[in-house]
Chains A and B, each alone.
Chain A
Amino acid sequence: MKKCIIVILLCFCALTSFADVSLNGGIQHDGLFGFNDQALNANYDFPYLSNTYLNLGMQSTYVAAGLRLELMPKPLQGYETSFAGAGVGNLFVQANYKWLRLTLGDVYAQYGSGFVLRLYEDRALGIDNSLRGAKLELTPFRGINIEAIGGKQRVYWNCYDNTSWNLDYTQGAVVGGNMELQIDQWSNTMQENNIGLLLGASYVSRYQPMDTIIASYSPLTMYNLPVWTAAADVRAKLRIQDFSLLVEYARKANDPSVENQISYNDGEALLLSGAWSRKGLSIVAQIKRSENMSFRSDRMARGNAAMINYLPAFTTTHTYALAALYPYATQTLGEWAWQGEVRYTAKKNTPFGGKYGTTLNLNFAHVRGLGKGWFGVSEQPYYTDVHLELHKRCSQNWWINAMYMYQTYNQTVVEGHGDLIRANIFVADVKYKVSDNVSMRAEAQYLFSRQAEGQWVFGLYELALWQKLTFTLSDMFNIGGENYWQAGATYQTAGHRLQVSYVRQRAGYNCTGGVCRYVPAQKGFSLNYTYNF
C-alpha cells in the first residue's frame, strides 16, 4: 500500500512539469495532548491523539485528478472505532469534454435535498460515504442535466479489508440516476418575467447479497432480506419574481434493517418550502414529514456508517455555545417538522434603523414524532426553538448581535435518557473596532432551565491584532457544577491557519445538519493547523 502511495505522489510530482496543469491542495492536522481529569471523566491511553489529512488536486483543460491521504492511527476521541487507520481515503480521475464529464474512482453526489442520495465528506463527524466506481454527468442541451452513478460505498477502511479494494460489486453496490430540467431555459417569456421552474427526478438502488435473519426460534420465523432496495425522489421548484416554492417527495421500498427493526414497510419523506424575499423583508415557511427513510448500503449498519442518504434536521444550526448546548438530531424512524423565519431590515437613517440599518430575525422550529394516521403527531414534542435575533451597527466602531431563544428539547427521544428540557437563553455579542489593527469582541450568554444541569453562564473575550492574530478566552460555567474553559491563540497568514489552545471541555454532541457525533469530555492542549495552496 505504501509503495502505491509513493508511486501516486511521484506521478503528481511529474505532472507539475506540464505547463497547462494546475495544482491545488491542503493539509489539515487536528491534535490533542490530553490530560486525565477524574471530575470530567476524561481519560487518555495515548499522550497525543490526532487526525491528519493531505489533499492534492490536479486540473487541466480536459483532465482532473485528486488524492486524499488520511492519517489517524490514534484519532481524536468520539469517532467510531473503525475510524482509526491510515491510507488513501479518496482517489479519482476525471475527464471532461464539451457536455460530458466522467469520473472514475471515489465519487460524491447529491440528488435534490439528499432524501435518496447524499455522498459527502464531513471531517468533524468522521463521515466519508463516497462510492468507489464511476459517475457520469451529461448536459447535452441547455436546461437538461443528467447524471448516473454507481459503485461500492466506503465504510471507513473497508477497501483495505478485502483484496478487491472495494471493487467487487457482488459484495454490495449502490447505483443511481438523476435528471433535472430547467424549464425556464427554453422560454424567453418566462425569463423576461423572472419566472423559473426546475423539475427533478432521481432513482437509487442498493444491492446487498442475500441474507436471512432468524426472528424467533419458537415458532421458527425467518426473514429473507431483499437483495435490491430502491428509492425514488421527485421535486419541483417554482420561482415567480420574489416568491419561490419547493415541493419534494421521496419514497423507499422494502428496506428491512437493524435500524428499523426489520420492517418491510415503505419509507417516505415530503418537504414543502415557500419563501418570499426582497431587500428589507423576507418570509420563509417549511414543513417536512419523514418516516422510515434511513437508507444505508448495509442493512446491519448503525451509527454514522454506511449512510446513502441524508435527512435534513429541520432546526436552525446554532453556533453560540449555550444555544448549541442541546442540539437536535433527526429521528429516522419518523417525525413531523415545521420551520419558519421572518427577517426584517430597517433602512439606514430611519428611527429604528439608525445611521447604519438594523436587522431583526424571528425564527421558529418545531419537531414532533408521528402519531395515528398520516397526519397524526406525537403527544410529546421532540424539539422547539423560537428565537429573536437583532443585529445592529451602533456607530462607526460598535456592533451588537443580541438574541433571545426559547427551547424545548426532548432528551429522552434524542439521547435515550433524561427529561423534557425547557430553556430560556439570552445572548449578547458585542464587537468594538479600536483601530484598523486592533479589534475586540465579547460574548455574554445565560441559559435558565429547571431541568437537566440547570443554569449555565458563558463568557468569551476575543482580541484581534494586525488582521492576523487572535487571542481568545472563554468560560462556560454550570451554576452549581463544573467550569469549562478555553484559552488560545490563532494565527493566520496567506493560506496558513494555526490555532493552539488549552481546553477543558464538557462531553456533548457535535451536530451538523441532523447527523451527530458524541464527543467525550476533553482536557489538554489542542493544536489545529490548516494550509491551503
Chain B
Amino acid sequence: MKRLLISLAILLSLFGSQELYAQIPNLTLRDINGKSVNIQQLCNSGKPTIISFFATWCKPCLRELNAIADVYDDWQDATGVNIIAVSIDRAQDVEKVKPLVDGNNWDYLVLLDTNNELMRQMQVQAVPHLFVIDGKGKIIEQHNGYTDGEETNLYKTLLRIK
C-alpha cells in the first residue's frame, strides 16, 4: 500500500510539474436531427467552444442551459462561442430530447451520447458537467455541478480565450 501511495504521489507531482492538457476525443455522434457530427473537428474551429453534458431529468442541467440560453446571443456576438449540449439520456428517453430542446427554444447544437461513449472518454461521471475549450481543441477549464450565477464567470473565461 505504501509503495502504491508513493507511486501515486510521484505521478501526481509529475502532472503538476508539466503542462498537461486534455484533448477532445475523436468521436462521431448524431445530433437530434440524425446528422453525424465529429466532435473533435467541431472543437478545432478557431473559436471557443463549450460542451455541456446534460440529461432531460437533470434539473440543475436545465437551469444551467436555460441561464446560458438567455445570454447566448450576446456571448456569440462578443466571442463567437459555439455551445454543444450533449445528452446522456438513454433508451426511450432519447426520444424526449428534441421535444425538450424545442420547448426551451435552445439554439445549441444538441448531440446524443446514447452509449455514454463521449461521457466515458471525457471522464464525466455526473451531470451537469461543462467544459470550456479554446479554438485549438484544448480544454481550458471544466466544472462538475452547477452553481447559480456561474455563467458570469464562464463569460469572463470566454472573453479571455476568444
Q: Interface residues, chain A, CB within 8 Å of chain B?
A: 2-3, 5-6, 9-10, 12-13, 16, 22-26, 28, 53-55, 57, 59, 64, 96, 108-110, 113-114, 120-121, 123, 139, 182, 184-185, 194, 196, 198, 237, 239, 244, 246, 271, 273, 275, 277-284, 286, 288, 310, 312, 314, 316-320, 339, 341, 343-345, 357, 359, 361, 401, 429, 431, 433, 436-439, 441, 464, 466-470, 490, 492, 494-495, 497, 513, 530, 532-533
| Chain A binder among B21-29, B44-52, B73-81 | B21-29
Q: A5 CA to B96 CA in the complex, in Å? A: 42
Which 4 residue pairs of A and B lie closest in terms of their CB atoms, listed nearest first?
A: A282-B99, A312-B91, A24-B22, A196-B34
SS class, residues of chain B in contact with chain A: mixed
Q: A198 CA to B30 CA in the complex, in Å? A: 11
Known: A437-B149, A470-B147. 14 other contacts (CB 8 A): A10-B10, A96-B26, A110-B116, A113-B90, A123-B125, A194-B33, A239-B33, A244-B95, A277-B98, A288-B92, A438-B149, A464-B147, A492-B147, A495-B141
Whole-angstrom distance between the Cβ of B80 and the nearest chain A Cβ:
23
Q: A307 CA to B18 CA in the complex, in Å? A: 41
Contact call B103/A6, Cβ cutoff below 8 A = no
Tell yes or no: B37 within 8 A of A by CB: no
Q: A369 CA to B59 CA in the complex, in Å? A: 31
Q: A416 CA to B23 CA in the complex, in Å? A: 48
Q: Interface residues, chain B, CB within 8 Å of chain A?
A: 1, 3-4, 7-8, 10-11, 14-15, 18, 20-23, 25-26, 28, 33-34, 36, 57-59, 63, 90-93, 95-96, 98-100, 102-105, 114-117, 120-126, 129, 139, 141-145, 147-150, 152-153
Q: A532 CA to B15 CA in the complex, in Å? A: 13
> Which of chain A's residues have a CB closer than 8 A to the CB of B102?
277-282, 343, 345
> Which of chain A's residues have a CB closer than 8 A to the CB of B90?
110, 113-114, 310, 312, 513
Contact call B150/A59, Cβ cutoff below 8 A = no
> Which of chain B's residues have a CB closer than 8 A to the CB of A185?
36
Q: Which of B57, B96, B105, B153 contacts A284 (CB 8 A)?
A: B96
- Chain A residue with the shortest CB-CB distance to B103: A343
Q: A436 CA to B153 CA in the complex, in Å? A: 10
Contact call A319/B58, Cβ cutoff below 8 A = yes
Contact call A467/B152, Cβ cutoff below 8 A = yes
Contact call A196/B33, Cβ cutoff below 8 A = yes
> Which of chain A's residues have a CB closer than 8 A to the CB of B93?
312, 317, 513
> Which of chain B's residues have a CB closer than 8 A to the CB of A339?
92
Contact A2 to B3, CB < 8 A, known contacts A239-B34, A273-B92, A433-B148: yes
> Which of chain A's residues have a CB closer than 8 A to the CB of B22?
22-24, 533
Q: A467 CA to B11 CA in the complex, in Å? A: 31
> Which of chain B's residues have a CB closer than 8 A to the CB of A54?
8
Contact call B115/A312, Cβ cutoff below 8 A = no
Whole-angstrom distance between the Cβ of B120 and the nearest chain A Cβ:
7
Whole-angstrom distance between the Cβ of B9 and the nearest chain A Cβ:
10
Contact A28 to B125, CB < 8 A, known contacts A196-B34, A439-B149, A532-B144: yes
> Which of chain B's residues have a CB closer than 8 A to the CB of A277?
98-99, 102
> Which of chain A's residues have a CB closer than 8 A to the CB of B115?
108-110
Contact call B105/A345, Cβ cutoff below 8 A = yes
> Which of chain B's residues have a CB closer than 8 A to the CB of A9?
7-8, 11
> Which of chain A's residues have a CB closer than 8 A to the CB of B63?
431
> Which of chain A's residues have a CB closer than 8 A to the CB of B145?
490, 492, 497
Of listed B103, B125, B149, B150, residue having the most chain A CB within 10 A: B103
Q: A363 CA to B21 CA in the complex, in Å? A: 43
- Chain B residue with the shortest CB-CB distance to A317: B57
Q: Which of A12, A113, A139, A466 contacts B91 (CB 8 A)?
A: A113
25 A–B contacts, CB within 8 A, in A order: A6-B3, A10-B11, A28-B125, A55-B123, A59-B25, A96-B26, A110-B114, A114-B90, A114-B91, A184-B34, A244-B95, A273-B95, A282-B98, A282-B100, A312-B90, A312-B93, A345-B102, A345-B105, A464-B148, A464-B149, A490-B147, A497-B143, A530-B125, A530-B144, A532-B123
Contact call A198/B34, Cβ cutoff below 8 A = yes
Q: A288 CA to B117 CA in the complex, in Å? A: 26
Q: A279 CA to B98 CA in the complex, in Å? A: 9
Q: A470 CA to B11 CA in the complex, in Å? A: 32
Q: A42 CA to B110 CA in the complex, in Å? A: 44
Of listed A3, A359, A533, residue having the most chain B CB within 10 A: A533
Contact call A271/B144, Cβ cutoff below 8 A = no
Whole-angstrom distance between the Cβ of A489 and the nearest chain B Cβ:
11
Contact call B147/A467, Cβ cutoff below 8 A = yes
Whole-angstrom distance between the Cβ of B67 and the nearest chain A Cβ:
9
Q: A497 CA to B141 CA in the complex, in Å? A: 13
Q: A96 CA to B26 CA in the complex, in Å? A: 10
Contact call B91/A13, Cβ cutoff below 8 A = no
Contact call A284/B95, Cβ cutoff below 8 A = yes
Contact call A275/B99, Cβ cutoff below 8 A = yes
> Which of chain A's residues have a CB closer than 8 A to the CB of B58?
319
Q: A242 CA to B113 CA in the complex, in Å? A: 21
Q: A316 CA to B7 CA in the complex, in Å? A: 45
